[in-house]
């Protein structure tokens, strides 16, 4: 109980400090002139440097991934055995990781 009281006292002492620093951050004036927005998708976006055939292939792969994820979600929800549910959840996580790695590798090539 002694530690609890010390923790509460410390929190109450630090609270005004955090409040004043937050107030100082929000008190900065807004810029007088609106900033010019960058041209959207100037570089073509995620698929900007792909040919139409590559874009179609990419979209089909993403669609397949989405369908697999939904299928696994439905199986997880329908499964009554907790052990089997965990196995399906792990399979779904592995699919997420596999897809993320493929996307990251594609970005850095």
pLDDT, one tens digit for every residue, the chain (109 residues): 666 666 666 665 666 666 665 555 555 556 667 666 666 555 556 666 788 998 999 899 889 999 999 999 999 999 999 999 999 999 999 999 998 888 777 665 5
Q: Where are the alpha helices (DSSP H) in 33-79?
A: 52-78
**pLDDT at residue number 102:** 82
The pLDDT, as a whole number, for residue 100 is 87
pLDDT of residue 50: 83
């Amino acid at each position: 109980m002694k530690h609890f009281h010390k923790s509460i006292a410390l929190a109450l002492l630090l609270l005004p400090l955090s409040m004043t620093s937050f107030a100082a951050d929000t008190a900065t004036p807004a810029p007088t002139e609106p900033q010019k927005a960058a041209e959207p998708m100037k570089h073509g976006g995620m698929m900007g440097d792909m040919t139409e055939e590559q874009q179609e292939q990419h979209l089909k792969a993403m669609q397949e991934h989405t369908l697999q994820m939904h299928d696994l979600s439905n199986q997880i929800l329908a499964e009554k055995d907790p052990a089997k549910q965990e196995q399906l959840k792990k399979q779904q996580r592995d699919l997420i990781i596999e897809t993320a790695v493929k996307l990251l590798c594609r970005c850095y090539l």
